[in-house]
Amino acid sequence: MVIDSVENNFINFRFPEEDGFLYGFNLYALVNGIDVLLIDTAFRTQARQVNEALTSRGLRLTHVLLTHFHPDHVAGLVALDPKITVLGSPEYKRTLVKEIPQTVTHVSFSEGFKFGEFDLSFTPVPGHSPCSILIDINEKYLHAGDNLMSRYDGKAILPWVEYHEIASHISSLELLKAMNRDKVLLGHGPALLNSSDINQAIDDRLSYLSAVLRSSGNCSWEDAVSGCTCHFAGKEFFEQLVQ
């Protein structure tokens, strides 16, 4: 685990890829006094390490905010206090596979949420999952969840999406691009910190997803990525999508 400071009271816990595993994890923590709001949990191992690191600093984990409810983002909840406040999309039950010990409080897409010096607002972006949300942090950082994914060496990771959700994922990526942000945080991979890189990353995913959708899922790998400027890591998500 690598611990970096994004800025004052804003911490990034980074877990690089392990051998044989496609992606690592970013867990971001917002600090309000001694209280901490953690964005995503990854799995039990990562959640425990983060909680221990916070405790060693005299901090206590009081809130968890989830970008979506896939196992690699929520499984760590079982290693945390069942009384922790968990925040997430009203659509979370459409994604959550196993029960978690905490009750989920729905985020509001109209009112947002304040945590100390941090003003958070939320935008639904279905596609990768029905419950995916964007998290705006002080109108400065935008957490894109898994709408964009990469390895820590910067190599892009294919979008994971079920075929019947491709159109929704495309719409959500177009919405993300229209927001024209210059600091985008990811659940997997390094943050994107200029609008040019962000737009190119979005365009590459849009090109790939549009090619698969136009072909009704019958295109080759070469055709699917022919319009992309990047070289995606692995083909697993493509093979699952067109099988």
Q: With a cut of 90, say whether residue 242 has pLDDT above it.
A: no
Nearest residue to 106 via CA among 129, 139, 133, 70:
133
Domain of 62, in residue numbers: 2-242
Instruction: Give 209's contacts (C-beta < 8 A, 6+ positions apart).
Output: 159, 161, 166, 169, 170, 173
pLDDT in tens, 97-152: 999 999 999 999 999 999 999 999 999 999 999 999 999 999 999 999 999 999 99
**Amino acid code (one letter) for 105:** T
Q: What is the CATH number of the domain that holds 57?
A: 3.60.15.10
pLDDT of res. 234: 80
Task: Report residue 162: phi and psi, to 5°.
Answer: -80, 150
Q: With a cut of 70, say whether residue 243 has pLDDT above it.
A: no
User: In what helix (H) or strand (E) does residue 31 lie, and over which residues does it extend?
Assistant: strand 25-32
Q: With a cut of 90, say whether residue 82 has pLDDT above it.
A: yes
Confidence of residue 241 (pLDDT cuts 50, 70, 90): confident
pLDDT of res. 30: 98
* Count of structural domains within the chain: 1
